[in-house]
Structure 1
């Protein structure tokens, strides 16, 4: 296996708007990130993924870019970004930029020109179609609800927007547009950026017949996700840009299973370093947005194992994550954000940092931040949540209280509440009221407390990261599942050249007995990590306490 820095790295994701406000306008900014570089260094991470900071009207919090070569005024200046990059590099940390290439803002100069007339030179930078039967060209639906098409009265055609109407899809069939995109990527790489996270990048190729899609799920996804030329486009992009650098590329890929993922990440295909999978975060929403589905641990174990085996057998790589700016807090989903908050937060972190792949930490995950609770349907900022609320209300099948309960559980606002730095007013994020409401539990859950407490989630994450640096088996060891049928415990080995790991994770609120396969010999096993401060158990056989995690090396 080829060794790469990004296989050994731990990545920390920053949502700048909610990380640290340096100028007290209620909005996090680049200078706020600069203020906290020592904190990131103390945690021990190797790279920072920065959510979009480009010029944007902020319809979708920066994922609607109006200028790819400039910085949003709220976040600061290009000089601020360059200083941040330089300071990170001085601390041996990489900077990964978020890049949105499936769509732009409708306020981008390209789209302003494209809208002017059917024969404008920029018309073909976007996807314009005539309507059909007095309506849109087809039945494709937007991720944010409603039709994926918007009618333009001036030119009497529809344009495609798989997300907000203010996020028109770019037309990758146009080679001139593709060259513009490659120029942008190379401009950033020459500036010194170490790689990119590429937003919904597997949506860039659409079936050019634009047929109606099945109404099962998101209508049309079978024609706009993993489309006919997606790998051709990505390979061309890679060859002309980031493959000429020692860079890390992370493709966000909805509607991708392990087999499809391999096409993006198999080393000899030279497309991406890794992808961002979604399947492991869909167990509690198998029946759609408006119903929380009960799930079994065995389902999660089976899925994770399928991905682990498939990629290791075929020389592919993936990202390991539970939280990001689009996902609710994992301790409130797959853990226990009450009595066992610390234990379950540490246990879930142990899983991510001991599987094969590159671990990602989302801001606040390292102190066990939880979901928030809003008391009104009008309180949500997230455009996706607002779209779902509207769709559910129109069906008229749920009460306002039921919708609010689901929205609080699902909303992306859960991840976007401001970072908890201390217990002062506004949690040390700002001295004024933030752009999004603080979570009320910040006096109990904050960085300052975690830095001083011996049993904190932060200090546990520090240890996880230091062990990964110390033992190559964390990055390069082969995965092998144990106790496959157990309903409460996720157990597996990582088999390396110099040593092996045994990982035991209790996903239950109860004490659970277990017995490892007697054919496996662990005579020299040494306990190197345990998420319980008191009464650390060193024996291999026996029981695990609620949400207990143990890592042995042998």
Structure 2
């Protein structure tokens, strides 16, 4: 399958590049920077919402799933962008947001105005708030999942914000609308969808039919997508217990990719403790997906770093290490910072962390700006702190826009302001974070072993993460070693054939391996590969 060696790059079109000079990113701006995405080694582009929306929730408050919001351009701009992506070998994923809509969606406007309208049952209404296992996603912002609507004369349910009423996927008409939306974008050439809020969609499907705890909905979505585009993928946002992962995969006949919150949480626990054990143990407890499915792994995304998969003691360790101040934390469960500020802007540690991500089994995802170490703006509300404009240069507005006034935030000052952190200043420097990330991305794709079987490497240093990958079909064999500690170490590596291996990727030039002892610098890394025969 094409997606088995994919590297996904996540872009918010409103924050990537402003082409028309209105102070907000757009599709033509995105198109003009697709070469950057391809050059750093990505093969797949994941677009955050560009549909018509009031944009009170980053575009996830959709008011028309079949229309490009005018601030991004029009359908011709989308098609042109898709054609350019295809010419560069980039596949495109878009968001499938069917757990809720905006309260400005025509469906909801019609539903609230007429109890007899067929759109009334597109949403969930009650005369009085009812007890439910569904809890507010944003505690401290929303106190209840029920909101009173004066015009409707009833309460409606909203798992997310009160301006985002829950869709009733128990209603077959709503499911038909979802399939119509999927068909439209698949016909326009998208390679699949990132499916938003999957467990909440499943909850409504179960209300219609308790079969397989509602997971039959994923069977239907998968079947529909594959019938209309061969190889289409479904990457699900499902922050569920790790023991449930296999149910969501079902041999790739449901989700082809699952966003792996379990591994993400333990990744940061390992970073906080400078020890590999939390991450290695997490991988061992994470069931290996069937051959047609993949876990999707990442560092940071457009939301908070949600740490709910960790026990309280471990969660507190991560919070104390990377979010010591109250304004760095959010919703009582996570962190609202970008990766680079969390790691103090230390380029060595940032490079190591990117290589550690690429050393994991699964499909790696990189968010725009992570390749240069972009920062955050904690003066912005909630998750908006990590949603700032891409920094292309040290010139006016960081090269993002020629406008006098921006419609989106950008980081201007301080250690992470665009005069200091930008693509242009890092592009030609071999020691820059961008250069390291670009090299590591390309190397990972070039080594077939990463698509094969893996196991923990036999080594004797607590701070060193090590896996051995072997691909029987190609004969490719690689050992990944990453030192999570600032201190240099000498790793005793009890692995067959290690003395004949050479560095495929490393943070420095190392001497040949002698007697199974592998030196690694503080925050260093070495990918060891058998020489070509």
TM-score by length of 1: 0.81
Pick aligned residue for 1:466 from 442, 452, 461: 442
Q: Counterpart in 2 of 1:350?
A: 355
Question: SS at 2:161's partner residue?
Answer: coil
Q: Counterpart in 1 of 2:317?
A: none
Q: Counterpart in 2 of 1:359?
A: 364
Q: Counterpart in 2 of 1:301?
A: 280
CA drift at 1:242:
3.6
Pick aligned residue for 1:238 from 212, 217, 222: 222
**1:366 and 1:240, CA in 2 relative to 1: closer, same or farther beyond 3 A?**
same
| Deviation per residue, 1:151-175 (Å, 9 max, x gap) | 1233332211111111111111111
Q: Counterpart in 1 of 2:137?
A: 143
CA drift at 1:209:
10
CA drift at 1:369:
2.2
Q: Counterpart in 1 of 2:411?
A: 438
Pick aligned residue for 2:489 from 502, 512, 520: 512
**1:102 and 1:150, CA in 2 relative to 1: closer, same or farther beyond 3 A?**
same
Contact preservation (8 Å) 2:126, 2:154 = yes
> After superposition, where does 1:252-331 map in structure 2 within 5 Å?
252-267=236-251, 270-282=253-265, 297-307=276-286, 310-312=287-289, 316-327=293-304, 328-331=337-340
Contact preservation (8 Å) 2:192, 2:233 = yes
Separation (CA, whole Å) in 1 of partners of 2:165 and 2:6? 35
CA drift at 1:549:
1.2
Question: SS at 2:14's partner residue?
Answer: helix
CA drift at 1:119:
2.3
CA drift at 1:49:
0.7
**Are residues 1:185 and 2:168 paired?**
no
**Are residues 1:454 and 2:430 paired?**
yes
Separation (CA, whole Å) in 1 of partners of 2:372 and 2:242? 31
Q: Counterpart in 1 of 2:525?
A: 549
Question: SS at 1:279's partner residue?
Answer: helix
| Deviation per residue, 1:191-216 (Å, 9 max, x gap) | 21111111112211337999xxxxxx
How many matched pairs?
Answer: 483
Contact preservation (8 Å) 1:14, 1:48 = yes
Separation (CA, whole Å) in 2 of partners of 1:319 and 1:209? 26
Contact preservation (8 Å) 1:494, 1:502 = yes
Question: SS at 1:115's partner residue?
Answer: helix
Gaps of 5+ in 2: 305-336
Question: SS at 1:349's partner residue?
Answer: helix
Question: SS at 2:499's partner residue?
Answer: coil
**Are residues 1:482 and 2:457 paired?**
yes
Contact preservation (8 Å) 1:266, 1:315 = no
CA drift at 1:278:
1.4
**Are residues 1:31 and 2:2 paired?**
no
**1:354 and 1:231, CA in 2 relative to 1: closer, same or farther beyond 3 A?**
same
Separation (CA, whole Å) in 2 of partners of 1:293 and 1:455? 25
CA drift at 1:460:
2.0
RMSD: 2.7
**Are residues 1:80 and 2:80 paired?**
no
| Deviation per residue, 1:383-421 (Å, 9 max, x gap) | xx2xxxxxxxxxxxxxxxxxxxxxxxxxx3343111110
**Are residues 1:428 and 2:415 paired?**
no
**1:537 and 1:485, CA in 2 relative to 1: closer, same or farther beyond 3 A?**
closer
TM-score by length of 2: 0.84
Q: Tell me whether 41-50 or 59-68 shows the greater mean CA deviation.
A: 41-50
Question: SS at 2:173's partner residue?
Answer: helix
CA drift at 1:357:
1.4
| Deviation per residue, 1:222-274 (Å, 9 max, x gap) | xxxx996431111112222345422443433343233311122242x511211
CA drift at 1:45:
1.7
**1:201 and 1:491, CA in 2 relative to 1: closer, same or farther beyond 3 A?**
same
Q: Counterpart in 2 of 1:172?
A: 169
Separation (CA, whole Å) in 2 of partners of 1:36 and 1:538? 40
Q: Tell me whether 312-321 or 145-154 shows the greater mean CA deviation.
A: 312-321
Gaps of 5+ in 1: 211-225, 287-291, 386-411
Contact preservation (8 Å) 2:459, 2:492 = no
Separation (CA, whole Å) in 1 of partners of 2:500 and 2:228? 45
CA drift at 1:437:
3.5
Contact preservation (8 Å) 1:207, 1:227 = no
| Deviation per residue, 1:358-389 (Å, 9 max, x gap) | 1111111112223x243xxxx324xxx2xxxx
Question: SS at 1:150's partner residue?
Answer: strand
**1:121 and 1:295, CA in 2 relative to 1: closer, same or farther beyond 3 A?**
farther
Question: SS at 1:206's partner residue?
Answer: helix
Separation (CA, whole Å) in 2 of partners of 1:461 and 1:284? 18
Q: Counterpart in 1 of 2:330?
A: none
Q: Tell me whether 438-447 or 10-19 shows the greater mean CA deviation.
A: 438-447
Question: SS at 2:466's partner residue?
Answer: strand
Q: Counterpart in 1 of 2:344?
A: 337
Q: Counterpart in 1 of 2:51?
A: 54
Pick aligned residue for 1:156 from 153, 158, 161: 153
Contact preservation (8 Å) 1:252, 1:277 = no
**1:486 and 1:330, CA in 2 relative to 1: closer, same or farther beyond 3 A?**
farther
CA drift at 1:313:
6.6
**Are residues 1:496 and 2:471 paired?**
yes
Separation (CA, whole Å) in 1 of partners of 2:235 and 2:199? 8
Separation (CA, whole Å) in 1 of partners of 2:204 and 2:195? 21
Separation (CA, whole Å) in 1 of partners of 2:206 and 2:438? 52
| Deviation per residue, 1:275-305 (Å, 9 max, x gap) | 112123445999xxxxx99786422221133
